[in-house]
Structure 1
Amino acid sequence: MASDRADRPDRRRRRTPASDDELTIEQLSERTGLTARNIRAYRTQRLLPPPVVRNGVGFYGAEHVARIERIRQLRAEGFNLTAIGRLLDDGDTAASPELRDLRRVVSGASGAEPPRTVEPDELLRLLGDQLTPALVQRATELGAVRALPDGRLELPTPALLDAAAELTDRGIPLEPVMPVFELVQRECETIADAFLDTFHERVWSHFQEAGHPRARWDEIAETIERLRPMASKAVLAIFQSTIDDAIERRFGDELAQLAERG
């Protein structure tokens, strides 16, 4: 693509910009402290508009500098990139403080480990020859792996990689385990929807019917924020009890028979 070619460093075509409207991608990187790789990634994610191309050279301007600074501020406030994109598209300065606070809560995370970015070689090192193209495709469809524009891989839930690596260390192949991960994903989506359906019916709908009263915004935001840990604790407690019972049923009789045989 022309804009991609325009971003490639070419020292023969470099020149000192006459103003902030004449920044090459390297100069924009120096000005903002954002790497050229991340600038391209933000463009791919439509967080930044494309540069103006003249004579095969891509030039960025004051608008891009301001947009990068705004993205940095919103990230510091706790917004993820998806929420930042929505805010920028909607003109985030027009949002009320209450709505911005609620957006921040909605786009937040549950407190789990943040996404991890790895090189493909690291996955190969951890998982060995089990990492077939078909397995990577299934992991991508599951949402366990996301390909980034720069060729690296993002792991939205790094604990899944840790679990997969431990399984392989213990001699359990990943191929037959993938359907289990997919089952867990489907069941978790069902459970999450059930919690949210209940919240929407019992709390949010009444908030809407009342015309979103200002006095209740903090209460609604706090309830949504608490949904994540409350639901996670409930699911974990039930599953721990359930798997304890399942292990006892599955292995109890066999162990008793082994004990009888000495």
Structure 2
Amino acid sequence: MEELARQAGITVRTLRFYRERKLIAPPRREGRIAWYDDRHLARLRTIAALLERGHTLNGIAELAEAFDHGRDVGDLLGVGEPSEETPVRLTPEELADRFAGEVTAENLAAAMDMGYLGADGDAIVHISRRLLDVSAALVREGIPLAEVLDAAHRVRRHAESLAELFADLVGRHACEQELHRLRPLAKSAVEAELSLALDRRLRANPKGD
């Protein structure tokens, strides 16, 4: 414990307090000896970084609980599944920086439930760089992250319906293996229709009232 506290730059008393608050996992014990490892040190450094960013210990404890009970990154990404999306590996403090003031236990749990975030040791993996960048940009524009996640949930329902429609279309007129090759056509059609829908919306309300 003394060695871990020294490497983390905190006192043993502070370390004991973090253990009592369950901010770090219990050590591995061999008889009367308690062994800490790099994960404990990483968690302590994350706590320090989040405190510097204005998070409270209560908030950090809630984040830690949501993070520890989130799905594993293997469940998130699957094995051998095709995807055009690029996962992004983040530290908890990098995630906090991207969504300043919006990374709450509720938002973290919601993102994990939707399969956007997964845990990989003391790191976080987001399933899609594009979705991560878009959601962060919307938050920077003043839209609360909770509302961004709610909108994403509704968008997903429509996206699933569109994917099923295109898969059925291809399945009726081509073999199922053609779906992967023809997916750019589906994406182009959806993007064009969304662009036209936004055009109609802007023409109907040009001042954005």
Aligned match of 1:139? 111
Work out whether residues 124 and 131 of structure 1, in 8 Å CA contact, stay in contact via their aligned partners in 2: yes
Radius of gyration: which is bigger? 1
Residue identity over aligned pairs, in percent, reads: 25
- Which of 160, 183, 193 is the matching residue for 1:189? 160
Q: CA deviation at 1:124?
A: 0.3
Return the alpha-carbon distance in structure 2 between the equivalents of residues 45 and 136 of structure 1. 18
State the AA in 2 paired with 1:141.
D
The answer as to 2:167 corresponding to 1:170 is no
| Number of residue pairs aligned between Structure 1 and Structure 2 | 142
Work out whether residues 116 and 154 of structure 1, in 8 Å CA contact, stay in contact via their aligned partners in 2: yes
Work out whether residues 142 and 185 of structure 1, in 8 Å CA contact, stay in contact via their aligned partners in 2: no
The answer as to 2:127 corresponding to 1:153 is no
Return the alpha-carbon distance in structure 1 between the equivalents of residues 126 and 116 of structure 2. 6
What are the ranges of 5 or more consecutive residues in structure 2 without an aligned counterpart? 1-27, 30-34, 38-72
User: For structure 1, which segment, 119-128 or 166-175, has the greater mean C-alpha deviation from structure 2 after superposition?
Assistant: 166-175
CA RMSD across the alignment = 3.0
Q: CA deviation at 1:145?
A: 1.4
Within 5 A, what are the aligned runs for 1:53-92? Answer: 82-83=79-80
Q: CA deviation at 1:225?
A: 2.7
Q: CA deviation at 1:155?
A: 1.1
Within 5 A, what are the aligned runs for 1:37-116? Answer: 82-83=79-80, 107-110=81-84, 112=85, 114-116=86-88
What are the ranges of 5 or more consecutive residues in structure 1 without an aligned counterpart? 11-43, 47-79, 84-106, 205-219, 255-262
State the AA in 2 paired with 1:128.
A
Return the alpha-carbon distance in structure 2 between the equivalents of residues 167 and 9 of structure 1. 40
Q: CA deviation at 1:151?
A: 2.4
State the AA in 2 paired with 1:194.
L
SS at match of 2:206: helix
Return the alpha-carbon distance in structure 2 between the equivalents of residues 176 and 250 of structure 1. 22
SS at match of 1:130: coil
- Render the CA deviation track for 1:212-248: whole Å, top value 9, x for unaligned: xxxxxxxx64x23322211111110110111111122
Work out whether residues 167 and 179 of structure 2, in 8 Å CA contact, stay in contact via their aligned partners in 1: no
Work out whether residues 116 and 155 of structure 1, in 8 Å CA contact, stay in contact via their aligned partners in 2: yes
The answer to which structure has the higher helix fraction is 1
TM-score normalised by L of structure 2 = 0.58
Work out whether residues 144 and 155 of structure 1, in 8 Å CA contact, stay in contact via their aligned partners in 2: yes
Change (3 A) 1:229 1:245: same
- Render the CA deviation track for 1:192-214: whole Å, top value 9, x for unaligned: 0111122223323xxxxxxxxxx
TM-score normalised by L of structure 1 = 0.47
